[in-house]
Amino acid sequence: MNGPNDRKYVFISYAHKDSGKVLPVLRAMEEEGIRFWYDEGLEAGQNWPKAIAEHLRDSGAVLAFLSAHSLTSHNCAREINYAVAEKKSILKVRLDETELPPDMAMQLSVNPDVPFQSPEKIAEAVREMLGEEFVGEAGEGTGRKLKKRRKKVNVWAIIAVVMALLLLAGVLAFVGLLKGWFGARPIVERTTVRTEDGNEVSVTELNSALAMEVLLKSSETESIYLAGNYLLTEPSVIRHDETGFFLQETPLERGIFSDLSWLNAGRVRELALVCESVESLEGIGALTELTYLDLSGNEIRDFGPVKDLQKLEILQILDMPEDADLSALAECKSLRQVVISYSMRDMVEALVKKGVEVIIRR
């Protein structure tokens, strides 16, 4: 008996641990139109041993996938024994080099081997060996369709795409803020001014601490001149008198720069931080190439870290707090010139004794 409609089908005997090798063959057999049944086709609630036995009994042939896993499976052993007892035509596919036990080797010695090769080649060989009786539309209860293979989802690829999109959105948002796309005042505004001798100086107004940090950290220039919230290409347009600091004729408000870690430390040779919010010079020693430094107009009281600047030659410190301690500057071995305000003239005795040129501006 070959099952409903007397349509012959192949019973598939295999160990579930070998699914990775077996299922591609079954898909190729499905493409060839070969009717088959395998136990993934069981319906929920079916009596498993009874369903296996009935489908094996009603099959026209058995395709046995033999491996180390199947040879240690009691279910596979029972299927082979029952197929032999029922005098089924058995085709063998060896999935590995595991030696068959003597009793099984004897039972299957008269059954043909299907060489293990590509799934398509195995399916073609099975069709040729079994004949066209096993090919065609499946009858009810036989030749169940394989479950559709789910495409593997590459989670990391999805995460990478999402992160790239978020990064792009962030960049666009940042650029939008810089350019004022969203109706707010642009974070970065650029203009030029002319010096008295006719030279053009580029002036970039930075209205955001984030924008300032990003621009300074990414800067490859060796000279950085900040005055208030303005980034300049040269410091000649910064002016000072007894009333304060000016960008040419425009009074400077205290800038938002406060953290020396915003600087690309390894490259900076000249640095002006005029009228900023710097209160501590901690970490300034990282600016190993610094030769010129202007800290005028900041609330700095401890100048001790400056002695770590081994190449510093010129220091400008106008309008420092009255209680600022400049004594440590005398330990800066490379320092040759210091520019101070008139009100600071009594703070530099140690520098004068050392022979450092002190320039006093009223």
Report the CATH number that the domain containing residue 130 is assigned in CATH: 3.40.50.10140
CATH number at residue 293: 3.80.10
Residues 210 and 348 in one domain: yes
In a domain, 312, yes or no: yes
- Residues 314-335 pLDDT 10s: 999 999 999 999 999 999 999 9
170 and 273, same domain (yes or no):
no
Q: What is the predicted pLDDT for the residue at 152? A: 54
pLDDT digits (tens, 9 = 90+) for 179-192: 555 544 445 577 88
Residue 192 pLDDT: 86
pLDDT of residue 212: 82
215 and 255 both lie in a single domain: yes
Residue 142 lies in a domain: no
- pLDDT bucket at 141, cuts 50 / 70 / 90: very low
* Most confident region among 30-34, 161-165, 258-262 by mean pLDDT: 30-34
Say if residue 172 is in the same domain as residue 269: no
Beta bridge mates, 241 = 244
Cβ neighbors of 64 (< 8 A, separation 6 or more) are 13, 14, 70, 76, 79, 80, 83, 90, 91, 92, 93, 108
Domain count, the chain: 3
Asked if residue 314 and residue 253 are part of one domain, the reply reads: yes
Residue 31 lies in a domain: yes
Contact assessment for residue 189 and residue 204, using Cβ atoms and an 8 Å cutoff: yes
Residue 140 within any structural domain of the chain: no
**Residue 269 has what pLDDT?**
93
* Residue 327 included in any domain: yes
User: Whole-prediction pTM value?
Assistant: 0.51
Give mean pLDDT, residues 40-53.
67
Does residue 317 sit within a domain?
yes
For the chain, give percent helix, strand, coil, nearest 5: 40, 20, 40
Same domain, 172 and 306: no
How many Å apart are CA 119 and CA 35, to the nearest integer?
16
The two three-digit tokens of residue 27, written as one number: 């898909």
Helix runs in the chain, H state only: 19-32, 48-58, 68-71, 74-85, 102-107, 119-130, 155-179, 209-218, 349-354
The mean per-residue pLDDT over the stretch 279-300 comes to 94
Q: Picking from 87-91, 192-196, 220-224, which range would have the lowest pLDDT averaged per residue? A: 192-196
Query: According to the model, what pLDDT value does residue 35 have?
Result: 92
Residue 314 CA: distances (Å) to CA of 185, 292, 333? 37, 5, 12
Q: How open is the CA angle 323-326-327, to the nearest 5 degrees?
A: 120
Residue 329, in any domain of the structure? yes
- Statement to judge: residues 355 and 208 lie in one domain: yes
Question: How many H helices and E strands in the chain?
Answer: 9, 17
Same structural domain for residues 85 and 172? no
Domain shared by 353 and 298, yes or no = yes
DSSP annotation of 5: G
For residues 87 and 28, state if they share a domain. yes
Q: Are residues 85 and 159 in the same domain?
A: no
Residue at 141 is within a domain: no
Check: CB of residue 358 under 8 Å from CB of residue 335.
no
Tell me the average pLDDT of the chain. Answer: 85
Q: Tell me which residue range forms the domain holding 52.
A: 4-134
Indicate whether 147 pLDDT > 60: no
Q: Kindly provide the b/e burial profile for residues 126-151, where b requires at least 16 CB atoms within 10 angstroms of the residue's own CB.
A: bbeebeeebeeebbebbbbeeeeeee
Say whether both 170 and 193 belong to one domain.
no
